[in-house]
Amino acid sequence: MAVIKSLLIRLEVETAAKKRICHRNRKTHSVIAGETCLVTIDDMGGKKNYCKICYAEMLNKAQNDLDGIKTRLGTTGTSQS
């Protein structure tokens, strides 16, 4: 069986070893040492960090977007083997 291509960009969950700046709001958001952050990795290997406020919103939006697509395609999206 062919490998299923992921539609999502590369995501990693990392624990900050030192303070990181949140890419979505560089002025007021940050990830302090020891906190979890969501890291997106582009095709060139460039990484962007997002704090817990932002990644919660981003994941919810992604979930909603996927649910919308599933509804339009008429699939419930439950995994079938």
Site residues, Zn ion (CB under 5 A)? 22, 24-25, 29, 51, 53-54
Concatenating the DSSP letter of every residue in 1-53 gives: -PPPPP-SPEEEEEE-SS-EE-SS-TTT-EE-TT-EEEEEE-TT--EEEE-HH
DSSP 8-state class, residue 74: T
Q: Which is nearer to Zn ion, 42 or 50 (CB)?
A: 50
CB of 54 to Zn ion, least distance (A): 3
The least distance separating Zn ion from the CB of residue 45, rounded to whole angstroms, comes to 22
Cβ distance to Zn ion smaller for residue 15 or 75: 15
Task: Compare residues 53 and 62 and give the one whose CB is closer to Zn ion.
Answer: 53
Residues 6+ apart with CB under 8 A from 70: 76, 77
CB of 22 to Zn ion, least distance (A): 3
